[in-house]
Amino acid sequence: MNETPTATGLPLAFHGTIIHSLSPTNLQILPNTFLLVDITGTIQALVPRTDASTINTLIAENGYAPDVFPVKHLPKHSFLIPGFIDTHNHAPQWAQRGIGRSLSLLDWLETVTYAHEAKFEDVDYATRTYSAAVDGLLAQGITTASYYASKHLPATKILAEVCRAKGQRALVGRCNMNRHAPGRCRDLNAGVSLKETSDFIAWMREFNSTSNEEKERPLVNAVITPRFAISCDEEVLAGLGELAAANPDLRIQTHFNEAEQEMEFTRQLLPDFKHEAELYARFGLLNERSILAHCIFLQEEEMETLARLRCGVAHCPVSNTSMDAFMVAPVREYLRRGIKVGLGTDSGGGYSISMLEVMKIAFVVSTARATETRGADPALSVAECFFLATLGGAQVCGLDERVGNFAVGKEFDALEVRTGEGIMAPVEEEDSMEVVFEKFLMTGDDRNIAKVYVRGRAVKV
């Protein structure tokens, strides 16, 4: 495996338009802005309303020699935005994206997904597939991803290694499954399931300790990952809850109220629980570190629980609406209650790894919700969808103190957007930057993402 990308030893500086979110409704479009990144990849300065005559002064004030300092001047109608954050992705499903659109969730798992995940017994296959997946996400501007791996410990380690080698920020979870799945992708028993998860967490800590930089602020970390209650018996759920308590820095991710068929099967397997919120809370898996994928059919009490425990929702509008049903998550209600929400590609239940596509479908789904509620839940705005893809995702993944926007002191995970490429709507002379930005979000694609930075390092291949 290649070494972690290293800094050039030089800081970075940009001058031009900077766009980021401070909240769901506070989108900042900052023209003529100076942004400085130090050699550790940390944002050192963000100064709006600057011109060429003041840049050298700003460079000197921040401790650098102006006459030898490189500044990148962004062309007109180009801009920097924070890197996209995918809060829910199945890395083993890279090669099966788009398959099984007419199937129900459980039938799709049985006939398509589990057979494919069994291939990850083969470490060579895992290396090839995970390398392609991480390259693919980086090319789309996804600088952070929360990954479900398969149950295979060696392959899960490979995914973590690939992410760090290619420079992608990631949460990587060994997927716990000890029932209701074929043998090749099911844990032998609860003891094996818990031991291999514990071993992965220990390995991940050792992996990060080999570098001072990674030890202090790891680019890749473990995440505790019960696939869902259907595939984990009570012994596994209880054991994972104990691991979560023993590792308070780690996130927890699972599927939550994803489909009516899944919810009914869960009730049959675990009839003592009123709903999934009570179930996961009882096992110590529901708290401010929880990343809950889908969250379609929550009862009132469950919404209250998520808000009270400060859980995060990974909203996956593509997969929610492109299998055997059109399922509309009440995202406006989550935001109204202060529940953290980010976006997930859910690749490969979701057919697309483009966060631009996910944002568009999130807008469509919210419009359906507005129609369904007769306007009580207004559709999401473009600014809100962008927030969910950036700072909202960082909040869900517990990374908002490090990434998600361009606040001074955060790490520089960013996309350099160039207009005038591919199929994006043409930029006309009279277009304001607000119009240009909306054209990019609604009609742009990866061809408009000219550069991708993670912690100040260029990572797009």
pLDDT band at 203 (very low <50, low <70, confident <90, very high): very high
350-360: pLDDT as tens digits: 999 999 999 99
Tokens, residue 364? 């469509």
Per-residue confidence (pLDDT) for residue 4, from 0 to 100: 42
Q: What's the number of CA atoms in the CB half-sphere (13 Å) around residue 239?
A: 20
Of 382, 333, 336, 335, whose CA–CA distance to 362 is shortest?
Answer: 382
CATH number at 12-82+404-460: 2.30.40.10
Of 396, 411, 441, 349, whose CA–CA distance to 141 is shortest?
Answer: 441
Q: Reduced to 3 DSSP states, what percent helix, strand and coil does the chain have, rounded to the nearest 5?
A: 40, 20, 35
Average pLDDT, integer, range 62-89: 94
Average pLDDT, integer, range 314-343: 95
| Torsion sign, CA atoms 86, 92, 97, 103 | negative
Which whole-number Å values give the CA distances from 303 to 117, 262, 311, 317, 334, in the listed order?
32, 19, 10, 19, 8
28-70: pLDDT as tens digits: 999 999 999 999 999 999 999 999 889 999 999 999 988 888 8
Per-residue confidence (pLDDT) for residue 403, from 0 to 100: 98
Mean pLDDT is lowest, of 93-102, 284-293, 308-317, 411-420, for 93-102
How far is Cα 276 from Cα 270, in angstroms, rounded to an integer? 10
pLDDT band at 109 (very low <50, low <70, confident <90, very high): confident
Tokens, residue 180? 């209701």
Per-residue confidence (pLDDT) for residue 376, from 0 to 100: 95
Per-residue confidence (pLDDT) for residue 105, from 0 to 100: 84
The CATH T-level fold of domain 84-397 is TIM Barrel (3.20.20)
pTM here? 0.96
How far is Cα 419 from Cα 137, in angstroms, rounded to an integer? 20
- Residue 5 pLDDT more than 70? no
How far is Cα 236 from Cα 33, in angstroms, rounded to an integer? 51
Nearby residues of 202 by Cβ (< 8 Å), 6 or more positions away: none
Domain ranges of the chain: 12-82+404-460, 84-397
**Is there a cis peptide before residue 348, judged by omega within 30 degrees of 0?**
yes
pLDDT band at 22 (very low <50, low <70, confident <90, very high): very high
Containing 276, the helix (H) or strand (E) segment is: helix 276-282
Average pLDDT, integer, range 419-439: 95
383-395: pLDDT as tens digits: 999 999 999 999 9
Per-residue confidence (pLDDT) for residue 363, from 0 to 100: 97
